[in-house]
Structure 1
């Protein structure tokens, strides 16, 4: 039986990924810093098969917690798949945003998955396992009011594209998933310029997808050995437009996300 560790597993896409992994027969380790909700999620899965689910309270930005996690994983049967799902975003203009907000977004969205993946590499080498990173289409193209988030997700993609080439010789497969707009708490909990919850509604393009839909797409792509997943063709086209006609893309984005400039 293969074991998967999922960060940010108690809500949103993380919970959908946990349920999908469980349905596919994985032994699922749910990791989240919300231990109350985490316990409820574990109980829900344990009612179906208690031997295939466990949890770990985890702040992914805590280096000491990550260091302690690895021997715990070894003790509990190793690791076949790591899903770096935990994330945070902000909605605020760059000039108005406190540096602490940028630092927090970078810590959760880039530093944490990098640190956790590197720490887990010995286990993944042993199992010839894999890593799934939940990126964002915002990492492929600029979006007003998301300077920190775009930067973190762009850095995430670049890091793991390099790592892919370095670890493929060990049989480790890396999938980068690039969703666009999902109906999850990440946007509901977005930070404002001062680190408090953002007060204005998000702007968006394309369709709002469910986390369950995305979770199915992710595991299907991983099972097929794909390296990158662009599930939303509309936003994929927008990212291509950014590369081939960046000035046109900027004009269209300024029009679509004009309300962000008023915040």
Structure 2
């Protein structure tokens, strides 16, 4: 039986992934910082495969060790590690407090990398799989999201390097690069002062739903794919950034001009 650990599993894409994996009969360990909502999700998944929850702060090394310990003691192993938990901000760089940048980097980069390293012995034993939710923002600049772009770029680069070492240990890696999704990560975005952002987000292309994205991720994982670029318009935008960066910046600045107000 496949055992799957999903971070940020109480809402948005994480919850959609939990439902998709549960429908396939996987044993689940779900974690989120929102304890009450996480308990509600366990109730909703009461029938079928085993579902265990553990609420806590992924940035805490002790909590990460506890997650790995639960996988070992309760499930005797781990097959899929889905690094989904994330946070973003919407604020001009010059009006963003350093603490906001640090928080975004801690949640979006340090936490998934450290959790993966902690889980390596279990993943080695099962010849398992790591699934990381990156972002097209890690490939190209987006106004008002300097910290988020930096964190997702760090995540992408670190795991693409780590991929070569993982594969030598028979652990596969799927990097997912979605664009704009209709999930709480944007609704809960931080402003430059660390409080919730007060202005609506700017978007480009089609805004996809979490269920659609989760289904595509699980299919890609089952197919053993290395990377998933689910949105064609974002992939084209990333190519434009590489081939004609000045044109990309002009177009992006027009589309996201509201982020500077």
> Structure 2-normalised TM-score?
0.98
Alignment match, 2:31: 31
Aligned to 2:5, the other structure's residue is in SS state: strand
Q: How do residues 45-60 of structure 1 correspond to structure 2 at under 5 angstroms?
A: 45-46=45-46, 48-49=47-48, 51-60=49-58
Paired positions, count? 260
Aligned to 2:78, the other structure's residue is in SS state coil
In 1: Cα distance, 2:70 partner to 2:222 partner: 27
* Cα distance per residue 1:92-143 (max 9 Å; x no partner): 0111100000000000000000010000000000000010000111001000
Q: What is the distance in 1 between the residues matched to 2:97 and 2:55?
A: 28
Unaligned runs of 5+ in 2: none
Give, in whole Å, the separation in 2 of the partners of 1:120 and 1:108. 17
Q: How far does residue 72 in structure 1 lie from its aligned partner after superposition?
A: 2.1
Q: Which runs of 4+ in 1 moved over 6 A?
A: none
The residue aligned with 1:97 is 96
Matches within 5 A, 1:65-214: 65-77=63-75, 78-214=77-213
Distance 2:228 2:31 in 1: 23
Q: What is the TM-score when the length of structure 1 is the normalising length?
A: 0.97
Using the alignment, how far apart are the partners of 2:88 and 2:28 within structure 1?
Answer: 26
CA distance in structure 2 between the aligned counterparts of 1:176 and 1:69, rounded to whole angstroms: 22
The gaps in structure 1 that reach 5 residues or longer are none
Query: In 2, Cα distance between the equivalents of 1:113 and 1:58?
Result: 14
What's 2:231 paired with? 232
Three-state SS of the structure 1 residue aligned to 2:28 is strand
Contact 2:29 2:71 in 1 (8 A): no
CA RMSD of aligned residues (A): 0.8
Deviation at 1:58, TM superposition (A): 2.4
CA distance in 2, matches of 1:179, 1:72: 30
